[in-house]
Chain A
Amino acid sequence: DTAVSQTPKYLVTQMGNDKSIKCEQNLGHDTMYWYKQDSKKFLKIMFSYNNKELIINETVPNRFSPKSPDKAHLNLHINSLELGDSAVYFCASDWGGGTTDTQYFGPGTRLTVL
């Protein structure tokens, strides 16, 4: 059973399009995250939700909008895609209760904007 799953695994699209990436976790966790990994492998937090409430919103363009329909799902919608949005996007989850928690990551979605 996959703990944290993401769809799609690969996404190739044209500049200006709107796309969504979906994430689901079956671990019963309360908190979910989106991280972006750039071409140099650097990972940075984008958003975090706890029980459907936004708790972290780093400085990302407002073309990126997370949506959490329930605590098991955190989707990422991107409007007006730009070349610089090409990256690997990782979803993660944990209990959100403390600094010692382990975060579990999904397999990633490789987004390529042409």
Chain B
Amino acid sequence: GNSVTQMEGPVTLSEEAFLTINCTYTATGYPSLFWYVQYPGEGLQLLLKATKADDKGSNKGFEATYRKETTSFHLEKGSVQVSDSAVYFCALRGGGSQGNLIFGKGTKLSVKP
């Protein structure tokens, strides 16, 4: 079945450091890929998405590129801020699933000043 694997956390960075959170997926067909963010005590918010191979999603300085050849959708940001501290979820939709999102296990990011 479809699945998403993302790097284990927690990840602790200093402010202005470069961030990469790895995400790989297994799916039949052509899924859409998403990054959601959950700030402490809040629900999930869409951060960015990509719906076909080689698409790049971007928002708030975060980027991720849909790589079909490596089945990956790694999240990157050039300079993190304390306010980026949150749990980040990679997810896929489609590719044989019923319409629900299939999530990775989440990566907790803590950014220190």
Contacts and interface: CB of A to CB of B under 8 A. Distances in A.
B103 A96 contact: no
A104 B46 CA distance: 8
Interface of A: 4, 31, 33, 35, 40-45, 48, 55-56, 90, 92, 96, 98-108
Given A41-B106, A105-B45, A108-B43, A99 B98 contact: no
Interface of B: 30-32, 34, 36, 38, 42-46, 49, 51, 87, 89, 93-95, 98-103, 105-106, 108
B98 A43 contact: no
Contacts, number: 67
A48 B98 contact: yes
Given A90-B43, A99-B95, A102-B49, A43 B100 contact: no
Given A98-B94, A99-B99, 10 more contacts: A42-B105, A43-B101, A48-B100, A55-B98, A90-B43, A99-B32, A99-B95, A100-B32, A100-B49, A102-B34
5 contacts: A41-B108, A48-B100, A92-B101, A99-B95, A105-B43
B27 to A, nearest CB: 10
A99 B99 CA distance: 6
Contacts of B101: 35, 43, 45, 92, 103
B100 A45 contact: yes
Given A100-B32, A105-B45, A107-B43, A40 B105 contact: yes
Nearest to B38: A41
A11 to B, nearest CB: 15
Nearest to A34: B100
A111 to B, nearest CB: 15
